[in-house]
Structures are given as structure tokens and as C-alpha cells.
Structure 1
Amino acid sequence: MNERWSVDDVWALSPDASSTKGALKIARPASWPTRGWRAGPDGGVAAVWGECEGSGAKRYQAAVDLVGENAPASKCSCPSRKFPCKHALAVLYLWATGEVDGPDDGPAWVGEWLESRAARARGRSQKPAEQSRQATKQADRTAREREELVASGLEELELWLTDQVEAGLAEAPRRKREHWTRMGQRLVDAKASGAAGRVNALAPLTALETDWPDRMLEEFALLRLLINGYRNGRDLPERTRAAVRERIGFGLRSEEVLRTGERVRDRWRVLAKRDSTDNEAKLTTRRLWLRGEHSGRTALSLTFAAANEAPKPALRPGTVHDAEVAFYPNGYRATIAETHGGGDAGPPGGGSVTEALGHYAEVLAVDPWLDAWPVVLADVRVARDPEWALVDDTGAALPLHTAECPPWTLLAVTGGGPATVAAEWTPWGTRSLTVWGEDRTAMSL
């Protein structure tokens, strides 16, 4: 039986961020007056279908085959060249959130499409060995074509970066937003959605009051490093190569990670949680930082949900869980495979500022594009001299990112005294996320 997908599974199929955003805009029951799911021979969900009202007189017909050959496979009557398109993603999202009823075979076009897929599969199944060879060749060809597209897009990005530097940064504040997003769209077309996101993020940098030229040059350098990393991937360590490909946009579905990823069972401490909402995309992102008590490994659970929903997993900072996690190839992002119970825990073992920065440097050597990493600091105080910072008993300090995390709650909990703090260290300062006060209980900030 095909289990109902999670929202994360749906977004893992999205070819790029613009498709996710477009899907969320139309993923409303009112936009899909006709929708349903078809049952397979075992009674499970074999396909999801729907008809979406658009700007024209005819509705867009979208369907997703969940069990057929090369599933999931999608069909839509819209003119998009993306697979799956936003309509297919939207009807999957509605199913994942319980807004699609069934079983319902639906209109004739649904059955005709599924039967045509099944007929092609039957024809190929007559020659299994040949079919296997053909499928392998097709997969190899598809992968090779994508690699060529990505290489072409990164080559164009390299020329574009050269043009920006030669034109001078003085022109940057006068550039319209389309100047940056145009290059981002070309990268999306080249199947390099991760790189596209970094380019699109350049647009708002010039609005910063200070140090925007330094920030922009830093981003230019990281993009150039990403290009070089892709070209020299065979010579890179395995985890760095995985980080490069993930930053470019070669993603993995959580199902694949659960099937093939490195698994580690441990008592996982929940150090910190950070939810951030993109109001434009109506998407909430949850970063959950875990640390294994026995393995010492750090794990990042990164999940997504619609803006009005709470992402999963709902693990609370300050708790510890006997769980098994499956790691992505980059060695730190993970998905939680199984949990075997948990409960409250005291403060985790923390270190000094120097130790935290040393660990961050080690991780940054593997993934230079990392923009946040958890640090646990023991016996630190909140101080201001002249900027707000966390100061340990040696006098070493980490500046606070006060624009996102003002220090007032942290000061109120600690009373200015020493405490254990879990935070995210970023290039722009420290985001304090969890503090353990005198009673040794955790409080999220």
C-alpha cells in the first residue's frame, strides 16, 4: 500500500524554488473543484489527480502516477516544460495535507493516461533484460544531459560574475532587481536551482546600510568557488563533493536518504530549533540541531511546511531521544528514521569560544558555503563592549546577531550571570537559540 506522502516528500520533487512558490499559491481546495485519488490493486493510492481552475476557460488537468514505471511520474495540460509542474506539485500537496478524497477513478482522461503508461510498461516488460539496459541507458543519458546543462549554466555564471566585477560595485545599487533575477532564472533553466538561489539573494544586499560591498564580493567569491568545485569534483573529498552538488541543486528525496544514507543510532540531544517563514513563498523552514551523546556527531534536520503549519519533527530543545538518523552525503544534514523514546535532559556539555570557532573552522573546510553551525558555550555571559556579545570566562567573545535575536530575553533568563547557551554561529554574528538557566531547564529564545 502506498502511504500518504509528507509535505517534505512533495517539495523534494520540485525542480526549483519558483515551482514550489507557484504550487503553494494554487494549493487551495477552492482552486481544485474536481480532485481525487485512484486506488491500486492492493487498495492503496496509485495515482492522484485534479482539475485546476486557471485564467482560461479550460481547467488544467494534472495527474501523478505513484506506482507505475519510473514513478512518481506526472502529466499536466499546462504549457510548462518543468516536470513536475506547479499544478502536479499542488495536487500532491493537497493530497499530502488530507485535502484529496478517494478512492475516485476520476474523469476519462485520467484512466487513459494511466493505461497508456501501463501499456508502454507492458511492452517493455516483454524483454526484461533489454528493458533494463534501455532504462539504464536512458537514466545515464538523462544524468549526462543534466550535467551538461549545469556545466553550461555555470559557465555563463562565471562570465556574468566577471562582468559584475569589471563594471564595478558602484553600479550595483542602481541595478534593478531584474538584473539579478534574470541570471538566477537562467540558472534555473540550467537545472542549477541552488546556485540560482544564491544569485537571487544578491539583490537585497545593496539595501544594507553598511558593508554591503564586502558582503557582495564575498558572495561573488563563494559563487566562483562553487563553479570551481563543480569542475574539479572528482578531486574533492567525498563530503565536500556532496556539499558542492547540493549547493548547486542536485537534491535527494528523504526516501532515498532513508534507503541509502549512513545510519547512526544514538541518544540525540536536541540543542536548538529555528523556524523561519518566507511570507512571499508562504513557506516555513525548520532547522533542528541535534548532537549524538556517544558518536559526537552533529545532525541538522531541515524540514518545510506551509506558512500556516508547524513543520515536523516537533522535537523540543532541551530533550534527548534514542533515535536513528540517516545522513545525507554531506555528512551533517540528516532525516530522522526512527525514534525509540525520549525525555527532558539537563544542559549539554559546552565549550569555550575558542573551541567553538575551531570546530566551525573544521566544518567550513568541508563546506565553505555553510551559513550556520551550532555552537554550545558553557559559562558565558551577555556583555556589551561596545557591541552585544557572548563572553566566556577567558574573555573571548562571539558577537550577537542582534538584528534577528535581540539579547533581552537572554539577559532576563540569566540575570547577567553565566549560563549554557546553544546558538547558531553565522558570518553575521551569533543567533542565540536556547539557554539553560540556574534551574537547568531549557528555554527557547
Structure 2
Amino acid sequence: MTHLTEAYIDAMAPNEGAIKNGNDLVRKNSFQRLCRTEDGLLLFGECKGSGKEPYSCSVDFVKVEQPVFRCSCPSRQFPCKHILGLMYAYAGEKAFTIEEMPADIADKREKADKREEKKKEAAAIPAGTETKRKVNKNALVKKLASQLEGVELAHKLIQQIVQTGLAALDKRSIRMYEEQAKQLGNHYVPGLQAAFREILVSVGSSDNPESIYSEVCEQLAALHALIKRSRDYLKARMEDPNIPMDITSVLEEKIGHAWQLAELREHGLIRENVELIQLSFRSYSDEARGEHVDEGYWVQLQAGEIVVTRSYRPFRAAKHMKEEDSFYMVVQTKELFTYPGDLNKRVRCEDMTIRELNPSDRIVIRSFAERSFPAAIKTVKNQLKNPLADHNPVMLLHAAQVANTEGGYVLVDEQGARLPLDTISKMDHPTLQLFRNLNQELLANVAVLVMFEDRLTEGRLVAQPLALITEQEMIRLFY
């Protein structure tokens, strides 16, 4: 298993603490047994724990792209430190004895094979046949009616804020609106609820509310547009439950629908045999949603699209969930699920293999960079016209030069068009100062991944650099 490197194991770990604890088990010789099957596809062993009996753990690589982890410990982290330690021991070339596969694991493999066969049979059935997932129309109409009630409640809440004025939003009134916003949770509209809470968070977290009035006004306008679109959409579906879900925009997700992979497959929102390279990564806290968000921007090597992955970890359960991290290898997946969206579609893959990034990959990435800034700006502005679209799109641009002018850094394309660079509010973390530490040769003939921001009060479009891709290397400014 040449792929079982420390970097691979680190990527599988839920957090930094699990990485340290897994390595500590190996360092302290806590494993009483280290075994593997002759074909090397199964690692198993026993590790000393806090009880009298050791914990039994195993890693099954019968499907290399989707290893199966098992451990008898009570930890809610997955994979736990014992499983990680088992893999670190193998990667560190500890001695593993060759033994027959335990009977219980052989039985579990057999059951897993049967489940896989059923999945393949279901996947082989063409979409749109009589086996398509049935919808209980009475239940659907009831849910749509409840969602409409939620839409009207959200409309009432923003009307109250507009009528009383933003200046009236003090701590007491914010708490009152917070309580009222909780009612939205009873109407299957968590997206609307989060959008409303985002307004309250913006005002409540500022020492000088007047300084963010323009930002809050934009949020109110966006929420008003979402409410109008949601109302029209839900009413139409109530009148005719046969109208399919909207898969052409982010409307369903903005209302609060959590797309299931089976739904994405059913609607044909899936791409086959795709390679992805991560260009930028960040983690941040979304107070309005009550979640940590791990966000990665990737380039799809076959088509050049810049797509995004987002993993959500609710605050209350974050310590028990895998925390994503920067990824520096090429991901290969047989199936890439694509969520409805706009310029940077959200994607997800269940099974994957990895390979090393090579120089030819950088050449391919650079070939996808937009060389005309006016064309890029036109694309961005077209997206910004849609109030539901992401107002901070990300694009890969080719810059003839990254220039340091009196007004600050700018990207210059081959025709001399300029795009100003700055720190944007969404990122809340500067990257421009890093240019001072780079060799100036790296700032010419370079592909730059940027995130845009439309500054309405200034009447200009700016961008923040996230990564640089040269012929020799890829430099992440955010990771």
C-alpha cells in the first residue's frame, strides 16, 4: 500500500489532536498486536486502552478509495486515535505479522459486498423510470404550506426592522428578534432563518453599527429578494405538486433544503472520472448558522472549472467531527456530485484515490486562466445581477504582471487592463503583504486565483489574491 503515507493519514484524521494522539500510541509502543493479511489490504491489531481489555482496531483497504475503519473503543471521533496509530505504525515500517483475516471482518466484508451489489443494481436503472423515488404529494403540500408560513414570518420580521429603522436595533431588540427567529426553525426554512440571523449578528457584533449600515442594507435587500423568489416558487409547487424541484439555481439551498446524494444522482447532477486540485483552503465560523465551515476552492483538471467544497461542523458537535484541512495532492474520483449553483458550484465526492501533483498539472491549471480582465469582470458582474448568487465569486486569472502602484497592488493583463487588489470583507485576512516576501520573477506571467468583492459605496470591483500558480510552483496565500 504505497499510498499509505503520513500525509495521507494526516488527511484522514479528524483534527490535529487526533494526529498527535495517534502518533503517541506508536511512540509509546501501545500496540500489543500489529497484523496484516498477506495481500496487505487489511491491517488489524490490538492497542492498550484505559480498561482491562485492549481495543481491537482495523483498517480495510479492499476498496482503496474508501477504506473501512473499525475499532472497539467508545470514542466518537472517526477515525479514532487507535485506527490512526495503526496506520502510522504501518507507514513507519513497524513489524506487522501476517495472519488470516479475522472471521468477524470476513463476515462484514460479505455483507458490505451484498449492499454494494444492491447499489449497483439501483444505479443501473435509468432515471425517470417507474422506480424513481416516489413523492408523497399530501406530505409535500403540507411541508410547502409550512414553508410558506415561514416565508411570511421572515417577511414580517424584516418589515419590522425596516419600519423601526436600523438605529433602533439595540441589544434588547436584537434579543427579541433572535427569539422570534427561532420560530422559523419550525417551518423547514433554515436557510431563511440563517439569512435573518446574519443581519442580527452583523449589527450585534459591531461597536459602531452606523459603520456597517450599508452592509446590512445589502443583506436586507438580498433577504427581501430571497423571500419574494421563495414565495413565488413555493406557491407554484403547492398549486401543482408535479412541478420538479429547482436544480438550475441555489434557491432550494437558500430556502434551506439539504441536498442528498441520491437526489443529485436522480437529477443527473454528477460527473464521472474527475481529477481535482485544491488551490486554496480556509476554515471560518458562521455565527448565523452556528457552524464551523471548512471551505476549499479546487480546479477541475478536465474542464478548468473552479468549484468549491464546504463541510459544515455544528458548534455543538464540532469536536466529534472530522475537521478538513489543506490538501496538496491530486484527488481522483469516479463520481463527483455537483450541487445546483452558479459560477463556483459546490461539489462533493464519496470515493477517491490520490496521486502526487506533477509539473504537467501546473501547465494544465495555467491554461485555464482567463487572460482578459474585461471578460472576467463581465462574467462577475453578470453573476452579481442575481441577488441569490454568491456575491464573492472566485476566478483564475492570467496576469502579465502583479504591479505595486501608488494606489496599491494591481493585476495587469496582456492588454494593459488593470484589476485592483485589496483585502475583502468576506476573507477578513490580508494576503497582499505576502507579495513583499516573494521573488519578483514570480509576479510576472502568473496565474492568480482571486475572490471578488463589489464595493457599492465606492463604485468599484476589487479582488483579493488567494493563490499564485507559476510554471515552477504553486504558492498558496490562503491555506
> CA deviation digits over 1:6-28, x for unaligned, max 9?
xxxxxxxxxxxxxxxxxxxxxxx
RMSD of aligned Cα (Å): 4.1
Contact 1:322–1:342 (CA<8 Å) still a contact in 2?
no
Structure 2 CA distance for partners of 1:180 and 1:390, relative to 1, 3 Å: farther
- 1:53-132 alignment runs, 5 A limit: 94=76
Of 308, 321, 325, the match for 2:336: 325
Structure 2 CA distance for partners of 1:302 and 1:174, relative to 1, 3 Å: closer
- Find the residue that maps to 2:297 and give its secondary structure: strand
Does the alignment pair 1:360 with 2:380?
yes
> CA deviation digits over 1:67-92, x for unaligned, max 9?
xxxxxxxxxxxxxxxxxxxxxxxxx9
Q: CA deviation at 1:324?
A: 3.3
- Find the residue that maps to 1:201 and give its secondary structure: helix
- 1:1-400 alignment runs, 5 A limit: 94=76, 139-173=136-170, 176-206=173-203, 207=206, 211-233=211-233, 242-254=249-261, 256-257=263-264, 260-265=267-272, 266-277=274-285, 283-305=291-313, 306=318, 311-312=323-324, 315-316=327-328, 319=330, 321=332, 324-330=335-341, 332-339=345-352, 341-344=354-357, 345-346=361-362, 347-348=365-366, 349-351=368-370, 352-364=372-384, 368-379=388-399, 380-381=401-402, 383=404, 385-386=406-407, 390-392=411-413, 393-400=416-423
Task: Give the corresponding residue for 2:434.
Answer: 409
- Find the residue that maps to 1:149 and give its secondary structure: helix
Structure 2 residues not aligned, in runs of 5+ = 1-73, 82-132, 238-242, 456-461
Structure 2 CA distance for partners of 1:354 and 1:180, relative to 1, 3 Å: farther
Q: What amino acid is aligned across from residue 328 of structure 2 in structure 1?
A: R
Q: CA deviation at 1:441?
A: 2.9
Task: Give the corresponding residue for 1:441.
Answer: 474
- Select the structure of larger CA radius of gyration: 2
Q: What amino acid is aligned across from residue 447 of structure 2 in structure 1?
A: T
> CA deviation digits over 1:375-423, x for unaligned, max 9?
1122252546546655544223243327422422233235483332213
Task: Give the corresponding residue for 1:65.
Answer: none
> CA deviation digits over 1:201-247, x for unaligned, max 9?
11233317565121111111111111111122259997676411211
- Find the residue that maps to 2:349 and give its secondary structure: strand
Deviates more, 1:188-197 or 1:235-244: 235-244
> CA deviation digits over 1:345-404, x for unaligned, max 9?
315332243333222234445662414322112225254654665554422324332742
Q: What amino acid is aligned across from residue 347 of structure 2 in structure 1?
A: A
Task: Give the corresponding residue for 1:29.
Answer: none
Distance in structure 2 (CA, Å) of the matches to 1:229 and 1:279: 25
Distance in structure 2 (CA, Å) of the matches to 1:408 and 1:144: 54
Contact 1:183–1:196 (CA<8 Å) still a contact in 2?
no
Distance in structure 1 (CA, Å) of the matches to 2:244 and 2:477: 36
- Find the residue that maps to 1:375 and give its secondary structure: strand
Q: CA deviation at 1:309?
A: 6.5
- Find the residue that maps to 2:438 and give its secondary structure: helix
Q: What amino acid is aligned across from residue 422 of structure 2 in structure 1?
A: P
Q: CA deviation at 1:145?
A: 2.0
TM-score norm. by structure 2 comes to 0.56
Q: CA deviation at 1:181?
A: 1.6
Q: CA deviation at 1:157?
A: 1.6
Q: CA deviation at 1:287?
A: 1.7
Contact 2:434–2:477 (CA<8 Å) still a contact in 1?
no
Contact 1:388–1:400 (CA<8 Å) still a contact in 2?
no
Contact 1:272–1:423 (CA<8 Å) still a contact in 2?
no
Q: What amino acid is aligned across from residue 162 of structure 1 in structure 2?
A: Q
TM-score norm. by structure 1 comes to 0.60
Contact 2:333–2:349 (CA<8 Å) still a contact in 1?
no
Task: Give the corresponding residue for 1:120.
Answer: none
Q: CA deviation at 1:298?
A: 3.6
Q: What amino acid is aligned across from residue 381 of structure 1 in structure 2?
A: V
Contact 1:193–1:249 (CA<8 Å) still a contact in 2?
yes
Q: What amino acid is aligned across from residue 311 of structure 1 in structure 2?
A: E
Task: Give the corresponding residue for 1:425.
Answer: 452
Deviates more, 1:335-344 or 1:210-219: 335-344
> CA deviation digits over 1:316-352, x for unaligned, max 9?
28x5746531112336222124445443231533224
- Find the residue that maps to 2:356 and give its secondary structure: strand
Distance in structure 1 (CA, Å) of the matches to 2:152 and 2:290: 32
Distance in structure 1 (CA, Å) of the matches to 2:178 and 2:255: 16
Structure 2 CA distance for partners of 1:361 and 1:300, relative to 1, 3 Å: same
Distance in structure 2 (CA, Å) of the matches to 1:431 and 1:93: 41
Distance in structure 2 (CA, Å) of the matches to 1:298 and 1:225: 26
- Find the residue that maps to 1:325 and give its secondary structure: strand
